[in-house]
Structure 1
Amino acid sequence: MQNRRTERNAFFPIFWKMDSHYPLVDFHKDFSLPKADTIHFQTEGICNIKIDGKAIDDLTGTFIVPAGNHRINVKIYNQATPPTVFMSGRYVKTDASWLATFEDKEWIDETGKSSDVSATNYQPAGYWNFNSTNQIPSHFVLPVIVQRPVSVVKKDNSILLDFGKETFGYVKLHGIAGRGRLQLVYGESKEEALDTEHAETFDWITISSSKKIDTTPQLSKAFRYVNIKNTDGLQLDSVSMLYEYADLKDKGSFACNDEELNKIYDVSKYTLHLSTREFFIDGIKRDRWIWSGDATQSYLMNYYLMNDNETVKRTMYALRGKDPVTSHINTIMDYTFYWFLSFYDYYMFTGDKTFLVNNYDRMKTLMDYVVARRNKDGLLEGMTGDWVFVDWAKGLSKKGALSFEQLLFARGLETMTICADLSDHKDDAVQYSKMATDLKGKLFEYYWSEKQKALVHSRIDGKQSDNITRYANMFAIFFNYFNEIQKSEVKKSVLLNDTIPSITTPYMHFYELEALCALGSQDHVLKEMKDYWGGMLKLGATSFWEEYDPSKKGAEHYEMYGRKFGKSLCHAWGASPIYLLGRYYLGVSPTSPGFETYEIKPALGGLKWMDGVVPTPNGEVRVYCNTSNIKISASEGVGKLIFKSANNPKCKEGKIIAKGGNQYELEIKKDQPYSINYKAVVSE
């Protein structure tokens, strides 16, 4: 995936270590067979198959396992592609219950006796829906569908195609003949497609055929416009495209009375789908890489829209790679911590303990790497080889030990505490808990400014700086690190303070708005979403961008990284309204793993009504809310509806409990619809 990027038609490799697959893998499973079973099998790679430790010598595609208790071992070597095996019998089948290892630690002594393999670390084998010998995993490709341009403008030596909106796939040339070359210049904007000298991506197509043929470039591209430069006079009948996509269905939804917000939600959905491929990638034009910060937000949006666990797990495995650890994930300090935090989110939204346990060793070695890089005060600051990113912001200081990095570090240690406990590493859990507590204490000792009522940005040479930025302060709110007084102070001194440098990326704007939502400012956030994401729509955006600065004009919006068209106009982190609307307006969030329990805190935020679905591991939670009625239904778990009412609310299906201060609660049981009559409280 990450080696498909091109820039100006040149291969552009990633910046960090790329790990390959393990070339030799042992798969095994124990079976109890009531009858003999004939097994049909296929592997990718050279294989050795043993039944109860004895190798079979006929590997022509079938073998027989007698009735009784047996262990089947399949060891496969394949340097080119990951070792895979498919088996199909009446009783013996390859499924998710098989175990795998890349080293079985077996040895044979001088008498021929095999050692035990009790020291071997087995993990569940990767298992996907390749359900016949005709489906070869290494041949997997994403599906495509044909799309046609909505506009074709022909000139003497060029054709400009407009596909109507941002899209991704392969341009297909139909009925092309002659001798020569033509150039396909791709553009997310018309300006980019027409600027051959500065466009980020293009392809050359060489033709030498007297007969009409169809042809397609080898690599998929992102574009809305395609400028076909045909200076050699090649004959060309027509052009279409093959739209490439991950076949994931929407399970969540959101609609309301505000059509602009509905449009923002729909374009957010399209943006996330475009950036969801074999993995969650950052953007479809430029990088097409797996970045931890981008992916972390994609996971959250995914939980409220597609709820696809497999793409999350694949992406997290790809980001971590193998031991030994030689750098931070993506070389970025903060991106390492996002990877840790993603495990907690995954566990809460899915309830999948197995994934955390299987990854604990990888988590521990990465955390060991982090802990070893602390300074004498036990804090983290950039060292040689570290990229301290935080955000794309002009003039943002990266000097010293940043409060933002310590905050993420503390949260990462808290996540490690949970995962160590779940993995039955109790001593580790105690150690990580103590480290987290100590670091949180230092966070407030070293960075809290009573004068400025905020966490300062950095600590340089052992001294607190005067610089205040939004980053650490807004994360500390939804991490719940501030007390209620501090939250109120930071809201005024930082989040609603125009003298604090503003944020211009959807990436960090997401977290800023989450902090405000966590403080109950949905009215303000609604205006921000309509202004910020609505601002991109007013400029003609059909997917949301990597960065948006309302002060820019015209083609200035396409500039980034010192390049005329360097900005991505379809970036996964631009789709964050999906999460904000599901989590803080519909108000649905898990309070225990896998939605065994959950909360619903609907907040209209100035809307007249809203209606939506939040997917859960085995079902969904449906929420409708207007200013006088709330309707709830859920298909699993036990929920708690928490809401405010200016009058005494009524519900025939359950008992409403008054909590004081116009706040009420109602228990929500599965498969029971609820209708609550109430009067919405007007925001202060």
Structure 2
Amino acid sequence: MRVLLLNILIVLGTFLKVQAQDYTEVKAKFEHNLHQPVNIQKLGDGHYFIDFGKAYFGTLSIKAKASQKDTVVFHLAEQLSSEYTVNRNPKGTIRYQNVVLPHLIKGESINLKLPKVIGNTKPEAIALPESFGVIMPFRYCEIENLKIPIDDLIIHQKVVHYKFNDKASYFTSSDTILNQIWDICKHTIKATSFAGYYVDGDRERIPYEADAYINQLSHYAFDNEYSLARRTNEFFISNPTWPTEWILHTAKMFYYDYLYTGNSESISKFYDKLKDKTLIKLEREDGLITTDNERMNKQFMTQLGFEKRKKIRDIVDWPMSERDGYEMKAINTVVNAFYFENLIMMSRIAEALEKQEDALFFKDKANQVKALINDKLFDKSTGLYIDGEDSSHSSLHANMFPLAFGIVPEERKEAVLKFIKSKGMACSVYAAQYLLEGLYKSNEVAYAQQLITATDHDRTWYNMIKTGSTMTLEAWDIKYKPNLDWNHAWGTAPGNIITRDLWGIKPVTPGFEDAEIYPQLSNLNFSEIKAPTIKGPITAKYKKIDDHNFKYEIELPKSMNGHFKVPTGNWKSITHNGVEVHDKNKLKLDKGRNIITLVN
């Protein structure tokens, strides 16, 4: 018994040592900053309102220059109820807390001790280091019963986030709404990194694969910091979540980590686990997958990384009201579209690891699944994809996911796109990522930009700004998700879409050895962007000189190769650094500065 206990203690000690080493490494990447107020208003005797400009995760730091024996009340909040009044009873998971200090002591520095929130401190939530204390997202503070002059109170918003280089990226354009949307997305990525993982916001503080995928791509658009994405990806190997499609994001995230960094360590280490997470074992005889499958047993769930859960479940979109009336069937079109995408991702991963036999297997399997979707999950009479086998309903989701993943044949695109465009934004902020990807891949750039910058209804990013939030919301509006939070990075799709699709800046080969720039700038008159990469920033400028002349200026890092894909148009003349170019599709970029002019 003593020997067994000793062995347990040795194992536990080793585990704690490893955890401590890991934490020490991660701890060094957190930044703690003090932000000054941008606005202070006196509301009455001893009553003040303070605005810090943007919401961050943190607490309030105060230092008094004079003592006060009486109590002081502090109200911290994300939302206002009127111009200079914090909302003390917000709906959903919009945050508010009040703290009463018994007194103020001259010269004493205090960080407000906030009460814990049960919802985001459950065992499955990411636990923050004790040194952080309890933190919350807030922008505003109200102070009551302050007997000393406000000038005798040094007050800061004490914030914490993962290291972030604000200067690593920028974007501006002739569309001021688009600029504001870029800004809110960028701030969201910075502020929500407080946990050291990509979490789903403050309501649960749990990593979810779909949230993390959008978070990852947007983080790449704003900063060349890659450890947070990799750390989150590897967390999912043993900590998956229940939705079928969320698990089917795993290989995508690992592949993009490799594509953006050129580092194959993660895809190599977890290769066999990634094969499990393709859900290939849920195939029925014809090759399509279903969760209504007797193979979903304890052994299978253990292989996926679950300890207790008995089943996974199709989700399509979340909340359920965002599914555009989707008819859930055992053979689910969205699930199988994701399955196809997974097989493509695994074929690329296998190629990268020189596993040629596996690469061929996954490619062949992907082609088989694509053919099956186009045969069994398509209604020839309507020209649309149906929600699932034996369904008579065609939703936005059943059509936009196949479009985004390249499943839709060219001859079917016209009908599919017409249907998609008739639906508007009939999906959640999560699924909007794939809606926009599909539109840009199909050259529907004007409509895609219209969706991003719309201001005339509440299913827009502008509505998030209009509500008063400085981070993207969990849903379009609280009426669509009554328990939403105001700090959800899965709402940042435009952040990565602007870089990857509107400006078309993407890695062609791992580690950005080769880059592609394919601008689809629609009706913009000018734009500038700085896109971070592991090799250094790509900077680009665009100006519409007049209706016939367009100028691009692109600068690549010296260690990077790149090409410029010519935007669609009837170009009479294309010049590159003063030399006429005859290839109307793409041109090889020089290392350093490139000036390209297009004339129609």
Instruction: Tell me if structure 2 keeps the 8 A contact 1:188–1:569.
Output: no
How many residue pairs match? The answer is: 531
- 4+ long deviations beyond 6 Å: 135-140, 233-237
1:300 to 201, 209, 217: 217
Q: 1:400 to 1:189 in 2, by over 3 A?
A: farther
Instruction: Tell me if structure 2 keeps the 8 A contact 1:187–1:226.
Output: no
TM-score normalised by structure 1 residue count: 0.69
Match of 1:15 in 2: none
- Give the CA deviation at 1:342: 1.4
Match of 1:616 in 2: 533
Report the 3-state secondary structure (helix = DSSP H, G, I; strand = E; otherwise coil) of the residue aligned with 1:650.
strand
Distance (whole Å) between structure 2 residues aligned to residue 254 and residue 198 of structure 1: 33
- Give the CA deviation at 1:601: 1.6
CA deviation string 1:99-131 (max 9, x = no partner)? xxxxxxxxxxxxxxxxxxxxxxxxxxx7x9xxx
Report the 3-state secondary structure (helix = DSSP H, G, I; strand = E; otherwise coil) of the residue aligned with 2:451.
helix
Match of 2:280 in 1: 371
- Consecutive unaligned residues in structure 1, runs of 5 or more: 1-22, 25-44, 47-74, 86-125, 129-134, 323-328, 549-556
* Identical counterparts, % of pairs: 19
Distance (whole Å) between structure 2 residues aligned to residue 207 and residue 622 of structure 1: 50
Instruction: Tell me if structure 2 keeps the 8 A contact 1:290–1:315.
Output: yes
Instruction: Tell me if structure 2 keeps the 8 A contact 1:280–1:298.
Output: no
Q: 1:642 to 1:198 in 2, by over 3 A?
A: closer
CA deviation string 1:346-401 (max 9, x = no partner)? 2222222222112213323444xx33344565544445642422222415443432
Deviates more, 1:479-488 or 1:186-195: 186-195
- What are the within-5 Å matches in structure 2 for residues 129-168 of structure 1? 142-148=31-37, 150-152=39-41, 154=43, 160-168=49-57
2:262 to 340, 351, 355: 351
Distance (whole Å) between structure 2 residues aligned to residue 374 and residue 610 of structure 1: 47
Report the 3-state secondary structure (helix = DSSP H, G, I; strand = E; otherwise coil) of the residue aligned with 2:562.
strand
2:158 to 238, 242, 249: 242
- What are the within-5 Å matches in structure 2 for residues 238-637 of structure 1? 238=153, 239-249=155-165, 250-282=167-199, 284-321=201-238, 329-367=240-278, 370-375=279-284, 378-382=287-291, 385-391=311-317, 392-394=319-321, 395-459=325-389, 463=390, 465-492=391-418, 494-498=419-423, 502-531=425-454, 532-548=460-476, 557-559=477-479, 561-562=481-482, 566-627=483-544, 628=549, 629-635=551-557, 636-637=559-560
Distance (whole Å) between structure 2 residues aligned to residue 560 and residue 479 of structure 1: 27
- Consecutive unaligned residues in structure 2, runs of 5 or more: 1-5, 114-132, 293-309, 455-459
Distance (whole Å) between structure 2 residues aligned to residue 424 and residue 649 of structure 1: 40
Report the 3-state secondary structure (helix = DSSP H, G, I; strand = E; otherwise coil) of the residue aligned with 1:677.
strand
Distance (whole Å) between structure 2 residues aligned to residue 137 and residue 197 of structure 1: 34
Deviates more, 1:632-641 or 1:145-154: 145-154
Distance (whole Å) between structure 2 residues aligned to residue 210 and residue 252 of structure 1: 42
1:216 to 98, 112, 115: 112
- Give the CA deviation at 1:334: 0.8
Instruction: Tell me if structure 1 keeps the 8 A contact 2:562–2:589.
Output: yes
Distance (whole Å) between structure 2 residues aligned to residue 601 and residue 295 of structure 1: 26
Distance (whole Å) between structure 2 residues aligned to residue 375 and residue 620 of structure 1: 46
Q: 1:256 to 1:171 in 2, by over 3 A?
A: same
Match of 1:676 in 2: 596
Name the structure with the higher strand share.
Answer: 1
Instruction: Tell me if structure 2 keeps the 8 A contact 1:545–1:571.
Output: yes
Instruction: Tell me if structure 2 keeps the 8 A contact 1:171–1:240.
Output: yes
Q: 1:480 to 1:376 in 2, by over 3 A?
A: closer
Q: 1:153 to 1:397 in 2, by over 3 A?
A: farther
**How big is the alpha-carbon RMSD for the aligned residues of Structure 1 and Structure 2?**
3.6
Distance (whole Å) between structure 2 residues aligned to residue 222 and residue 545 of structure 1: 13
Name the structure with the higher helix share.
Answer: 2
CA deviation string 1:456-481 (max 9, x = no partner)? 1122xxx2x12111224222223222
Q: 1:140 to 1:229 in 2, by over 3 A?
A: farther
CA deviation string 1:236-260 (max 9, x = no partner)? 9744320222222142332222233
- Give the CA deviation at 1:299: 1.4
TM-score normalised by structure 2 residue count: 0.78
State the AA in 1 paired with 2:475: E
Larger Rg: 1
State the AA in 1 paired with 2:88: D
Match of 1:667 in 2: 588
Instruction: Tell me if structure 2 keeps the 8 A contact 1:251–1:613.
Output: yes
Ranked by relative contact order (alpha carbons within 8 Å, sequence separation 6 or more), the top structure is 2
- Give the CA deviation at 1:529: 1.6
Instruction: Tell me if structure 2 keeps the 8 A contact 1:645–1:664.
Output: no
- Give the CA deviation at 1:559: 4.8
Match of 2:302 in 1: none
State the AA in 2 paired with 1:194: N
Distance (whole Å) between structure 2 residues aligned to residue 199 and residue 489 of structure 1: 39
- Give the CA deviation at 1:171: 1.7
